[in-house]
Amino acid sequence: MRWSVYAFTLLLLAWSCGMDTTDTATAEALPDTVTYAAHVAPILWSNCMPCHRPGHAGPFPLITYRDAQRKAQMIKLATGKGYMPPWPADTSYRRFLGERALTRHEIALLARWADQGALPGDTSLLPPPPDLPEDPLLGEPDHVVWLPDSFHIPGDARDRFMIAKAPFQLERDTFLRAVAFVPGNRQLVHHMNAALINYPRGKKQDVFAGARYLNAEEIHGPEAFAALQLTNDDGSWPPLVPSVVNHLPGLDPLVLPDGLGGLHLKREGAFLLNTLHYGPSTRDTTDRSRFLLWFAPGPPERPLQELSLGSTHTPIDPPLHLEPGEVRSFHTQLTLRKPISVVTVNPHMHLLGKSFVAYAVTPARDTVPLVRIPEWDFKWQYAYTLPYLLPLPSGTTIHVVGIFDNTADNPHQPFRPPRAITGTDSRFMRTTDEMLQFFVTYVDQRPGDEKISLFTK
Ligand code: HEC
């Protein structure tokens, strides 16, 4: 099957907060008495509340003193282990926009606060909690694309991986400035990745035919595309842009500085949600999610392009295969044929991933760290945005090393007892197959790119 794949992709994710997580405060002495009003509230409001508030991903709110006091011990535990806030990338390896990571000093403050009995302090001195926006802060969208229907999530406490199509028809061809995915059910929609299909003019009578949800564990690949009626009317394949939207809880869409990014949008099109992951629910409920679209006035000066490494893209050495009980490291690489400036990096593995590192080696033999995930967690697969464009010269080799753990001790091990696992070579696969992939979005390099900040809010 041939998809003609456009080399550029619209942007993935961005984060609403800045980069204020330096460790300079580590050496600072802790106060004798730690209180909610004086120390804890500001930490929770900026690092936790974006997710821990009603209608968002966190399972309980962390807004008021009572909210926090009830969970004081759990907060100490979850932050002490580095499990919350979720930010798997190692901040000592490479910094990114909107990092959600606590300093050691902040973690120590939360622990002392819990140990001292979660004291309120003078809460009358506190300002009101920040008024966080419900939706991404880009103003009214120019167009909204809804998923076909409500999806019924049975209360059977199982994860679900769906494939779906969300078609649209606009007034005219245009350019996309930004696109956001807004889950209907923020507690259960965990992660989502969508491609964009652009139908050439006159090639598709009814873009809405075949729009529905399919269970990816029952049907995938060509069969699923047929059920979704994705092809042009003559059976040929329309152009598809991969990974146009990635969603994880608590993240806003990235808006690139003027002139960067931007994606051509045909009048007739569809989002193909090739993974829509619902977390487990113990009661029957529903979801109906939507895409918000903001148009750009014209074509971008420098469109965003994408490099793909690993499964289905570049050879993995040794070939991805794990015997039961095996922990093993795999490598893949790619050499640049032109100078680029990196915008985002996005590591991808499945349930057996244990750790991940990507770095670049320039022709002058400088090593440039790209991203390190010391403890891979399938649940928190971010695309990380660099604070400034990162120029890499032509001839640079990007290296990726992924370690996989197919032992029974891996908490994400899907099989008891473990089975032999092989890497998939299909783009659309089951989560229980393994993958080692790395995606880099970039723009063509220009002098001075290292001074171009990607912080637009
Ligand atoms: C990006 C969204 C997000 C942010 C930011 C976030 N949380 Fe969470 N938190 C979650 C989700 C989702 C869960 C549910 C458990 C899971 O999915 O892993 C959770 C679970 C928890 C739990 C329960 C852990 C358990 O063992 O069940 C605690 C405690 C917690 N969060 C505290 C915090 C604190 C404290 C912060 C800030 C320092 C924070 N969270 C920031 C999304 C977030």
Task: Name the residue among 385, 322, 313, 383 with its Cα closest to residue 348.
Answer: 383
User: Do the domain assignments include residue 17?
Assistant: no
CA distance linking residue 186 with residue 281, whole number of Å = 12
- C-alpha distances in Å from residue 307, one per residue of 83, 207, 237, 241, 302: 30, 29, 22, 13, 15
Same domain (yes/no): 288, 354: no
Ligand 1 center–CA 329 separation, angstroms? 30
Residue ending a domain, among 271, 296, 321, is 296
Which pLDDT score, from 0 to 100, does residue 259 have? 86
Task: Name the residue among 96, 124, 106, 110 with its Cα closest to residue 14.
Answer: 96
Tens digits of residue pLDDT in 61-116: 999 999 999 999 999 999 999 999 999 999 999 999 988 899 999 999 999 999 99
Tens digits of residue pLDDT in 119-162: 999 999 999 999 887 766 678 999 999 998 999 999 999 989 99
What lines the ligand 1 site, CB under 6 Å?
A: 47-48, 50-52, 57-59, 71, 74-75, 78-79, 84-86, 100, 102, 249-250, 379
Number of other CB atoms surrounding residue 298 within 10 Å: 9
CA distance linking residue 237 with residue 234, whole number of Å = 9
Same domain (yes/no): 198, 107: no
Which pLDDT score, from 0 to 100, does residue 430 have? 62
The total number of structural domains in the chain stands at 3
Ligand 1 center–CA 262 separation, angstroms? 33
Sheet holding 305-310, edge to edge: 305-310, 436-444, 340-349, 384-392
Checking if the pLDDT of 2 tops 70, the result is no
Checking if the pLDDT of 311 tops 60, the result is yes
Ligand 1 center–CA 139 separation, angstroms? 28
Name the residue of 48, 159, 251, 379 to mutate for ligand 1: max ligand atoms within 8 A of Cβ. Answer: 48
User: Do the domain assignments include residue 90?
Assistant: yes
Which pLDDT score, from 0 to 100, does residue 422 have? 86
Q: Taking residues 221-230, report their average pLDDT.
A: 92
Task: Name the residue among 137, 143, 168, 332 with its Cα closest to residue 252.
Answer: 137
User: Do the domain assignments include residue 130?
Assistant: no
Residue ending a domain, among 296, 327, 347, is 296
User: Do the domain assignments include residue 6?
Assistant: no
User: Do the domain assignments include residue 335?
Assistant: yes
Same domain (yes/no): 263, 357: no
CA distance linking residue 249 with residue 46, whole number of Å = 15
Which pLDDT score, from 0 to 100, does residue 8 have? 26
Ligand 1 center–CA 116 separation, angstroms? 22
**Residue owning the nearest CA to atom 22 of ligand 1:** 78
For the chain, the farthest-separated pair of C-alpha atoms sits apart, in whole angstroms, at 74
HSE (CB half, 13 Å, CA atoms) of 217? 8
Tens digits of residue pLDDT in 159-195: 899 999 999 999 999 999 889 999 999 889 988 999 9
Which pLDDT score, from 0 to 100, does residue 217 have? 84
User: Do the domain assignments include residue 15?
Assistant: no
pLDDT band, residue 274 (cuts 50/70/90)? confident
Checking if the pLDDT of 383 tops 50, the result is yes
Q: Whole domain around residue 119: which residue ranges?
A: 24-125
User: Do the domain assignments include residue 429?
Assistant: yes
CA distance linking residue 90 with residue 371, whole number of Å = 7
Same domain (yes/no): 314, 368: yes
Same domain (yes/no): 171, 286: yes
Please tell me which residue, 128 or 252, carries the higher pLDDT value: 128
Same domain (yes/no): 156, 107: no
Checking if the pLDDT of 23 tops 80, the result is no
The number of the ligand 1 atom at minimal distance from the alpha carbon of 106 is 38
Instruction: Give the CATH number for residue 247.
Output: 2.60.120
Checking if the pLDDT of 248 tops 90, the result is no
Ligand 1 center–CA 33 separation, angstroms? 25
Checking if the pLDDT of 394 tops 90, the result is yes
Same domain (yes/no): 116, 158: no
Same domain (yes/no): 350, 435: yes
Same domain (yes/no): 147, 289: yes
User: Do the domain assignments include residue 7?
Assistant: no
Please tell me which residue, 405 or 29, carries the higher pLDDT value: 405
Same domain (yes/no): 106, 172: no
Instruction: Give the CATH number for residue 344.
Output: 2.60.120.230
Residue ending a domain, among 239, 263, 296, is 296
Same domain (yes/no): 277, 260: yes
Which pLDDT score, from 0 to 100, does residue 441 have? 92
pLDDT band, residue 27 (cuts 50/70/90)? low
Name the residue of 52, 104, 105, 252 to mutate for ligand 1: max ligand atoms within 8 A of Cβ. Answer: 52
Q: What is the pTM of this model?
A: 0.86
Q: Taking residues 213-241, report their average pLDDT.
A: 92
Ligand 1 center–CA 155 separation, angstroms? 22
The number of the ligand 1 atom at minimal distance from the alpha carbon of 102 is 38
Say what angle helices 72-80 and 104-115 make with each other, to 10 degrees.
Answer: 150
**Which range, 126-135, 303-312, 350-359, is most confident?**
350-359
Same domain (yes/no): 161, 289: yes
Lowest mean pLDDT segment, chosen from 49-53, 252-256, 439-443: 252-256
Tens digits of residue pLDDT in 229-238: 999 999 999 9
Q: Taking residues 48-57, report their average pLDDT.
A: 91
